[in-house]
């Protein structure tokens, strides 16, 4: 068995692993990138973020095509799942090629196989009968997560499945039950409902996406019902089984029986650490397979770092990339600029949801005064042009300093639009910025100006309406970010 020596061995080639490997290589370090699959990219590229979002775009394209054809008096049929997944598979292949090229250009050794620690500084990578021994000065564990598969759920191919298996279906089911109303469940519910599948979404919580602002969630739930989704909220599942006819059945604790062709179980995810033999490296994972790290992304074994979904909240591809870079910089004595505390969240439902900063509920709980400004797509020219009557943008700001405290968007382009608010929050500017800024017309960005004017009208007294003075920029609220509790169901 051959031994290979590196400065850094990265386990997992998802967003965190890729960016850590590249950051270290740019510093002139010898780097190995290890992945248990026979291809780079990790969960993000193959079963998570990229294919699911590409599938969503395909759904939007087909539903828009249906509308155009119907308007011209022509008839059309629903797309097949093969049609919808064609684009997703194409995007995945292209992304894999990009990653391979990046690794090759930067001299990063890519090793395929299952990694397991032998000692804190050495591991073996097994692929069939082949074994490679790797030693390194530093390690980064970036193995991501995998769907939870409880023993009492009788997973059955093409009938009772997890989110990874959903992308292997060969046809669209006529009916689909989704157990778990977190981000993954809600996204897939809206996609399948949009192409005519009868969807029932079941969750034990009284509303979907509890970490999202209440008003946004209420509007989203209304839209999901308009798509034909049957929401069973506040319902616990007592038993999942196969019927005599081979269909999936879910029995709720309130004795409701929900029958469908396919049941998607997406309650929780587990850190993919079971094969790593962590104990040999002096590490212990928690009950969900996750690793604990300090502010520098070091585990309790100082030369072994961890990043991405395997360390838990916030479990976003964007933050995983940043964690990978920060880990690499720290382990090789680089001093990065402090990261911004303002992290945007994107939820790719139909319609999209995005948010940054605090919600009304968090501000109320923290006893921080705030005011609200709202704009709606139907009142914006661009909203009329694109035909989105449900979109809205909501600003939360301090009534005295007018400093922006939170931005919440529902509708077309929400995950892009949020970055304007992110820039203003990071700069510590008041919402007056939006009033004084000229936006292209017609654009959805104009929503910021309309929402800011709406908010200012709530706090300005008629006799004090003056031009904004730069001295007003001194905030009346603390400049440090308000702590946000990790959302309970972000990865569910």
Q: 3-class DSSP state for residue 116?
A: strand
Write the DSSP assignment of 382-444 as a string of letters. Answer: HHHHHT-SS-EEEEEE-TTT-BEEEEEEESTTHHHHHHHHHHHHHHT-BTHHHHHSPPPSS-T
Question: What's the pLDDT score for residue 331?
Answer: 95
3-state class of 196 per DSSP?
A: coil
Read off the pLDDT of each residue in 235-253 and give the average, rounded to a whole number: 95
CATH code for 3-147+270-331?
3.50.50.60
What percent of the chain is modeled with pLDDT above 70? 88
Among the residues of 240-380, which ranges form H helices? 317-331, 360-365
**pLDDT value of residue 463:** 53
Q: Is-same-fold flag (3-147+270-331; 160-266)?
A: yes
CB 389 within 8 A of CB 230: no
Mean pLDDT in residue range 127-132: 88
CATH topology of domain 352-473: Enolase-like; domain 1 (3.30.390)
pLDDT of 483 over the 60 cut: no
Judged against a pLDDT cut of 50, whether residue 352 lies above it is answered with yes
What's the confidence (pLDDT) of residue 487? 45
pLDDT for 477 beyond 50 = no
pLDDT at 138 > cutoff 90: yes
Question: Average pLDDT for residues 218-225, to the nearest whole number?
Answer: 95
Domain extents in the chain:
3-147+270-331, 160-266, 352-473
Instruction: Specify the pLDDT at position 256.
Output: 94
Phi, psi torsion values for 136, nearest 5 degrees: -155, 155
Q: What is the pLDDT of residue 55?
A: 84
Angle among Cα 274, 314, 485 to the nearest 5 degrees reads 120
Residue 2: pLDDT band with limits 50, 70, 90: confident
Look up the pTM and report it: 0.85
* pLDDT attached to residue 188: 94
Rounded average pLDDT over 410-439: 95
CA pair distance 360, 140, nearest whole angstrom: 38
**Average model confidence (pLDDT) for the chain?**
88
- Which CATH architecture describes the domain 160-266? 3-Layer(bba) Sandwich (3.50)
Helix (H), strand (E) at residue 86: helix 81-105
For the ranges 58-62, 161-165, 233-237, the lowest mean pLDDT is seen at: 58-62
199 vs 462: which has the higher pLDDT: 199
pLDDT tens by residue, 448-472: 999 999 999 998 766 544 444 444 4
Kindly tell me if the per-residue pLDDT of 489 is higher than 60.
no
């Amino acid at each position: 068995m051959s031994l290979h020596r590196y400065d850094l061995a990265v386990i997992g080639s998802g967003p965190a692993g890729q960016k850590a490997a590249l950051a270290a290589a740019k510093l002139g370090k010898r780097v190995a990138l290890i992945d248990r699959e026979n291809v780079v990219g990790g969960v993000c590229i193959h079963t998570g973020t990229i294919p699911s979002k590409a599938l969503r775009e395909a759904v939007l394209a087909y539903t828009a095509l249906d509308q155009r054809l119907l308007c011209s008096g022509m008839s059309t049929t629903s797309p097949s799942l093969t049609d919808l997944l064609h684009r997703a598979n194409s995007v995945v292949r292209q992304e894999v090629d990009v990653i391979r090229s990046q690794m090759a250009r930067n001299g990063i050794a890519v090793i395929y196989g299952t990694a397991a620690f032998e000692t804190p500084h050495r591991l073996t990578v097994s692929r069939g009968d082949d074994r490679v021994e790797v030693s390194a000065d530093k390690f980064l564990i970036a193995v991501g997560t995998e769907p939870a598969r409880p023993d009492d759920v009788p997973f059955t191919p093409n009938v009772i499945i997890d989110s990874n298996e959903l992308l292997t279906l060969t046809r669209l089911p006529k009916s689909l039950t989704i157990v778990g109303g977190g981000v993954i469940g809600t996204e897939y519910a809206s996609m399948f409902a949009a192409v005519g599948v009868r969807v029932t979404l079941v969750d034990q919580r009284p509303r979907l996406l509890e970490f999202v602002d209440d008003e946004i969630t209420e509007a989203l739930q209304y839209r999901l019902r308009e798509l034909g989704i049957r929401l069973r909220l506040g319902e616990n599942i007592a038993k999942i089984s196969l019927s005599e006819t081979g269909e999936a059945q879910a029995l709720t604790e309130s004795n409701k029986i929900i029958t469908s062709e396919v049941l998607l179980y997406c309650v929780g995810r587990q850190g993919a650490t079971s094969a790593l033999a962590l104990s040999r490296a002096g590490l212990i994972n928690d009950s969900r397979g996750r690793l604990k790290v300090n502010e520098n992304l070091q585990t309790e074994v100082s030369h072994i770092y961890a990043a991405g979904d395997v360390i838990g909240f916030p479990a976003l591809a964007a933050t995983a990339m940043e964690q990978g870079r920060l880990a690499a910089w720290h382990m090789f004595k680089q001093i990065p600029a402090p990261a911004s505390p303002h992290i945007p969240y994107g939820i790719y439902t139909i319609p999209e949801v995005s948010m940054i900063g605090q919600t009304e509920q968090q501000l109320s709980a923290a006893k921080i005064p705030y005011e609200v400004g709202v704009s709606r797509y139907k009142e914006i020219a661009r909203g009329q042009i694109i035909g989105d009557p449900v979109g809205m943008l909501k600003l939360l700001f301090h009534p005295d300093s007018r400093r922006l405290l939170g931005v919440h968007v529902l509708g077309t382009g929400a995950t892009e639009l949020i970055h304007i608010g992110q820039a203003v929050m990071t700069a510590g500017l008041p919402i007056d910025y939006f009033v004084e800024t000229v936006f292209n017309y017609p654009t959805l960005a104009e929503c910021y100006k309309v929402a800011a004017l709406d908010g200012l009208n709530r706090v300005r007294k008629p006799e004090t309406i003056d031009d904004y003075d730069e001295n007003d920029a001194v905030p009346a609220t603390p400049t440090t970010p308000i702590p946000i509790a990790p959302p309970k169901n972000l990865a569910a």
